[in-house]
Every structure is written in C-alpha cells, then in structure tokens.
Chain A
C-alpha cells in the first residue's frame, strides 16, 4: 500500500500562472482565462495532467497564462499539435485554444479535419470577429458590412459559420459561450472536456479595442431556449436559424473518439536526437 501523501487538488487560482496577461483592459479573453481555470478545478484536474495548446494571436497567448503544460505553436496549427499530443498521450486532458483568425482562416483546414477525426480533445475558440493582435483586420467571422480603414465599406463576404461547419464535419460536441458569463462558460468548458471525442466551444469574446460595439454582446447573449440535442440535423437547423447569441451546449453526440493503438517507440530519444544533430 502506498502511504505517500496525496497533494491537494489545485484550486482555480492555481491554474493561473504568475505571468500578467498583456491583453487590452476589458478584453473578453480575461473572462475565458478565468473560466478555463475554474473549469479545470471543477473537473478535479491536476496541473500535470493538462496541456493547453495554441497557435498565434491574442487569445493564443493562453498557455503562458495557465499553470499547466503548454505549447504555444505556430499560426493556425494548434489542432495538429493537440491531436498528436492526445493520441500519443491519451492520459492527458488536451485543450486547444485560439482565435477566429487562427482557427478558421489560417487553421481552417485543420479545423475541418480535427472535427472529422474526432480525437478526444477540446477546442476553445475566442471569437471576436477581428484580427486583434495585428491591429484590426477583418477575420473569417467579420460581418460583411464592417467598415474600417482596411476594408472600406466592408469585405462584402459571407461570414464563416463555425458551429454548423463543426457539426457537419463531425465534431461530437458543439457549444457556444459568452466570455462575460464567466461561470456559465466554465460550466460549458467542463462539459466539453467531459464529453468524449472532439468538443468545440465557440466563445463570443469581445475585442473592445477594435470592435467597441461588441460591448453590446452582453445584452444579446442569453441561454439557448432549447435543450441540448443529439440529433445533428436538428442542431444544424437551430444553429443556422439562430442569431448567433444563443448560449449553451447545442449538440452532444455519441460518436466513438479516434484513438489509434499506441505502439512502443521503435527508437530511443537519443537515436532520434542524433538525426537532427548539425
């Protein structure tokens, strides 16, 4: 019998690192950071059992602000890294985070195929309909008539529809959250992590610097008036016909996650390292 003392489970604050976020004051991503920390505490996770993986962008700075394993990767490539990590270390809770530009434009193809593969990980996209880090360009989810100096008169392009695309591509869990509802978002993230397979959480996270009008999202966001469905056709109809502010778990399926059989490493780490020696 092992009599070694068991360390107490970390509280929400223990999941936050000592690094002060450099997001703009009032940015929605602060709320998501708090929600993520609360969700992991509520799930009774230990810090060494969690990995946060991201790409590039304001919201992709998340791994630096969390006190667990983290990987701040290259633009749009959070999901391939998260997928590789999860299939090789299925014992870890793997969460990919990022923004709408990173996830739906540069990483758009990875998004489709991550949904299709249905590896057991959670993808949190903080969607503010703008590229914030590069100072306010239109992103895939920007409204077609958003008029600014870079896109006078707006792009005129139909916005990307992430939730229904995730659903059509095979995501096993699809939810929408609002960063201003910290506790509600923590609850949705916890449900997403618990749900087997690929869980997609789109968080409406206002960029009040470049999209000041998004402060009104808090008046628009409200709980979805319908219960979660496991019928993808019904979920698709709902998502396609709502106004984009229904909050909650909109679809939860029961598709078996993809997890290849793990094989023993054929070569030692030292042998691999020798291949890369200059």
Chain B
C-alpha cells in the first residue's frame, strides 16, 4: 500500500469518475482471478471448489456489468482491464495467486472470497469517511454498503459448508516421487 496509489490510497481518487473506474477495474480483476482459479482446480479434478469459483465469477461479472452501465451513463470510457494501468498492488478484491491448494475445500475458497470482500469494504468505508469531496464520499458509501452485503452473503455461505478436517491437505498419493 503506498501513498498516491489509486489501488489502495483513497486520497489518489480525485473525481467520481476515478472512483467508478477503479471500482469497475477491481471487479474485473477479481472476476479474472476467480476464473483462473476455477480452471486450475478443474484441471486437477477438484470440481466442487472449481464450481464454487465459477459461482463467484458469475457474481463478480454481474456486479461489473452493473458498474459498466453506470459508467456508460456518465459517459466514462470503459477500458477492459483498466486496472492493468494502475501502479502498485493488484485490486483489493483480487485473491493472491498462491491462495490455492489442489485439495482445498469450499470452506477455504469462501475464506478467500471473504478476505477479498472485507478488503474492498474497508477501502470504500475508509474513503466514505475521508475528507474527499461529498459526491465521492456518497458513491464510496454506496459501494461500502454493497461490499458489506457481499461480506454478509459470503458469511452465510460459509456457515452452510463444513469446516475442513484437521489433515485436509494430507494426500495418501502425494505428488513427490522420491525414487
């Protein structure tokens, strides 16, 4: 996190258009990463968790499409992957690439989603309570509310899946071949 970085620093958002473009880029990045995760787990036969990531892709896509419509109404050019031009770290809703394990369970996947939603909520809530212009704070507050709903949804979902067994990562046929 660094000062002046629009990915993480609320002060770097000067206009509502900046905010909307940043929020849209965050959704796109999150969607792309979940898509990659789904592919990785499908390839390794963990179809249950892959399906969960596909559901997360659908949710992020829906959110991104709504944002794209807002941006279009405001006449702000939507560049797919706008976040790519942003300096600094990846979007706050983007899970780290090493978060996966081939034996992971839906519980682990939802923990990843929860962390991402909480980070996004904190970012917008922080901006909503900052010294930014009123219109930016109003939009940030709306985004914070949306992220709060997502946090609640993921928590509900988490409550419905079993916690992983203690030795969930133990593989009786592990990939190492010491001979």
Distance in angstroms from A257 CB to nearest chain B CB is: 29
Contact (Cβ within 8 A) A135 B39: no
Residue A179 interfacial (CB < 8 Å): yes
Count of chain B residues with a beta carbon within 8 Å of a chain A beta carbon: 29
How many Å lie between the Cα of A25 and that of B38 in the bound state? 10
Inter-chain pairs besides A183-B86, A183-B89, 20 sampled, C-beta below 8 Å: A11-B80, A12-B81, A12-B84, A21-B39, A23-B40, A24-B44, A25-B44, A25-B46, A25-B100, A26-B40, A26-B101, A30-B97, A31-B97, A41-B84, A42-B85, A179-B97, A180-B96, A183-B88, A206-B98, A209-B102
Residues 137-156 of A contacting B (Cβ, < 8 Å): 148-150
Residue A38 interfacial (CB < 8 Å): yes
**From B79, which residue of chain A is reached at the shortest CB distance?**
A11
Contact (Cβ within 8 A) B101 A208: yes
Residues of B within 8 A of A182 (CB): 90, 97
Contact (Cβ within 8 A) A180 B97: yes
Residues of A within 8 A of B164 (CB): none
Contact (Cβ within 8 A) B40 A210: no
**Chain A, 21-55, contact with B by CB distance < 8 Å: what is the 0/1 string?**
11111111011001000100110000000000000
Which 6 pairs across A and B sit closest by C-beta, in order of nearness?
A149-B178, A26-B100, A25-B100, A135-B177, A25-B40, A31-B97
How many Å lie between the Cα of A41 and that of B87 in the bound state? 15
**From B49, which residue of chain A is reached at the shortest CB distance?**
A25
Residue A20 interfacial (CB < 8 Å): yes
Set A22, A26, A149, A150: member contacting B97, Cβ < 8 A: A26
Distance in angstroms from B116 CB to nearest chain A CB is: 15
Residue B41 interfacial (CB < 8 Å): yes
**From A13, which residue of chain B is reached at the shortest CB distance?**
B81
Query: Contacts A12-B81, A135-B175, A208-B98 hold; do A30 and B87 have CB atoms under 8 A apart?
Result: no
Residues of A within 8 A of B146 (CB): none
Residues 208-244 of A contacting B (Cβ, < 8 Å): 208-210, 215, 218
Residue A136 interfacial (CB < 8 Å): yes
How many Å lie between the Cα of A218 and that of B102 in the bound state? 20
Residues of B within 8 A of A209 (CB): 102, 175
Distance in angstroms from B31 CB to nearest chain A CB is: 12
Query: Contacts A30-B97, A180-B97, A209-B175 hold; do A22 and B81 have CB atoms under 8 A apart?
Result: no
Residue B124 interfacial (CB < 8 Å): no
Residue B99 interfacial (CB < 8 Å): yes
Contact (Cβ within 8 A) A30 B36: yes
18 contacts between A and B (CB under 8 A): A22-B43, A24-B175, A25-B37, A25-B40, A25-B100, A25-B104, A26-B99, A26-B100, A28-B97, A28-B98, A38-B84, A135-B176, A135-B177, A136-B176, A184-B88, A187-B87, A208-B101, A218-B98
Residues of A within 8 A of B104 (CB): 25
Set B80, B88, B101, B177: member contacting A25, Cβ < 8 A: B101
Set B43, B80, B101: member contacting A20, Cβ < 8 A: B43
